């Protein structure tokens, strides 16, 4: 079951731009200790487009060694082309994650029929569970509810990260797909309504900063305690919002740097936030008591 709060984990990097492997191991341990329900490797927040396949494989291997059996592990494997997605998915599937997450092909702008053929072709090539990642703001194309309903009939396509930000569309998706199909929010701030509508949880950016509270928020919703969930959301809503003051993952990495969780290093074309954005991030962290609050480094 893919449910609760699954962190769209950042990829820590060193000053020379290589992956910071000791920091990665510490972040994995941090999420296990904080009760995160799952980790999504090499998603948007993990700077997936800038990662080589060999790096994603090593990120996955280390996560499996440290976290297997403790939480769900999903790895991003989508590309802009069906053939390369099949190849990448096969390579990562051999490592044994719980599922793969496949973003809709970006730049191409396929039709709904093209999207159906894309995902059904990949599903026919592998046996690992597939989570579709629908994020029109990044890819230029939306996966319509009717298309998700068709894809949900394929046994190995088990869920969707719905990041349209459109509550009406989310409601339609949940109405159209079978009950066993997992609909996960791609936006922290609308986790509560998504679960209230019948969704299963969130693939979360803010869980990089507050994994414990986000897990609690999701579990409150799943158990019908929306009063408790709203109290958590009220405390951290500004943090959820400031994580998008610039393109993700620029703000969340900056915030984690201020918290002492990692060195805030990016790969081009991602770069450090502006001074104005950094000031906003620091102000929000201070307002919720997080500035310099955690240290898993060193």
pLDDT in tens, the chain (298 residues): 899 999 999 999 999 999 999 999 999 999 999 999 999 999 999 999 999 999 999 999 999 999 999 999 999 999 999 999 999 999 999 999 999 999 999 999 999 999 999 999 999 999 999 999 999 999 999 999 999 999 999 999 999 999 999 999 999 999 999 999 999 999 999 999 999 999 999 999 999 999 999 999 999 999 999 999 999 999 999 999 999 999 999 999 999 999 999 999 999 999 999 999 999 999 999 999 998 766 554 4
Q: In sequence order, what are the residues at sequence separation of 6 or more whose Cβ sits closer than 8 angstroms to the Cβ of residue 54?
A: none
Sequence length of the chain is: 298
DSSP 105-131: PTTT---HHHHHHHHHHHHHH--S-EE
**Per the domain annotation, does 253 fall within a domain?**
no
Question: CATH no. for residue 237?
Answer: 3.20.20.70
Residue 295 lies in a domain: no
Range of the domain at 180: 4-244
Residue 270 is assigned to a structural domain of this protein: no
- Does 137 map to a domain? yes
- By the 10 Å C-beta count (0-12 exposed, 13-18 middle, 19+ buried), 9 is classed as buried
Tally the domains of the chain. 1
* pTM, two decimal places: 0.95
Domain assignment of residue 290, yes or no? no
Q: Which helix (H) or strand (E) holds 164?
A: none
Provide the pLDDT for residue 1: 80
Instruction: Give yes or no: 72 in active site.
Output: no
**What pLDDT, on a 0 to 100 scale, did the predictor assign at position 294?**
62
Q: Which of 72, 116, 161, 266 is labelled catalytic?
A: 161
Asked if 119 is an active-site residue, the reply is: no
Q: What b-and-e string marks burial along 14-51, b requiring 16 or more CB atoms within 10 Å of the CB?
A: eeeeebbeebbbbbbebbeebbbbbbbbbbbbbbbbeb
Which is catalytic among the residues 72, 116, 119, 133?
A: 133
Residue at 83 is within a domain: yes
In a domain, 150, yes or no: yes
**Residue 261 is assigned to a structural domain of this protein:** no
d(CA 186, CA 35): 19
Supply the pLDDT for residue 297: 42
pLDDT at residue 296 in the model = 53
| The pair of three-digit structure tokens given for residue 119, joined into one six-digit string | 């995902």
């Amino acid at each position: 079951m893919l449910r609760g709060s699954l962190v769209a984990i950042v990829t820590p990097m060193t000053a020379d731009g290589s992956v910071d492997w000791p920091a990665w191991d510490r972040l994995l341990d941090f999420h296990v200790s904080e009760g995160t329900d799952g980790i999504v490797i090499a998603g948007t927040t993990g700077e997936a487009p800038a990662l080589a396949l060999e790096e994603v494989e090593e990120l996955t291997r280390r996560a499996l060694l440290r976290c297997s059996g403790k939480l769900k592990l999903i790895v991003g494997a989508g590309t802009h082309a069906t053939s390369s997605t099949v190849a990448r998915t096969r390579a990562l599937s051999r490592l044994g994650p719980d599922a793969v997450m496949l973003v809709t092909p970006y730049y191409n702008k396929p039709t709904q029929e093209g999207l159906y053929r894309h995902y059904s072709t990949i599903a026919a090539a592998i046996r690992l569970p597939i989570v579709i990642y629908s994020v029109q703001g990044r890819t230029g194309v939306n996966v319509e509810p009717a298309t998700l309903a068709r894809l949900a009939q394929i046994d190995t396509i088990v869920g969707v990260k719905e990041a349209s930000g459109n509550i009406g569309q989310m409601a339609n998706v949940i109405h159209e797909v079978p009950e066993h199909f997992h609909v996960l929010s791609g936006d922290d701030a609308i986790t509560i309504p998504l679960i209230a509508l019948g969704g299963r949880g969130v693939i979360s950016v803010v869980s990089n900063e507050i994994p414990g509270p986000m897990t609690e928020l999701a579990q409150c919703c799943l158990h019908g305690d929306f009063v408790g969930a709203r109290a958590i959301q009220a405390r951290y809503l500004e943090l959820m919002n400031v994580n998008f003051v610039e393109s993700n993952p620029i703000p969340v990495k900056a915030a984690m740097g201020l918290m002492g969780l990692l060195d805030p290093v990016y790969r081009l074309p991602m770069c450090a936030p502006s001074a104005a954005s950094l000031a906003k991030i620091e102000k929000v962290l201070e307002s919720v008591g997080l500035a310099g609050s955690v240290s898993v480094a060193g």
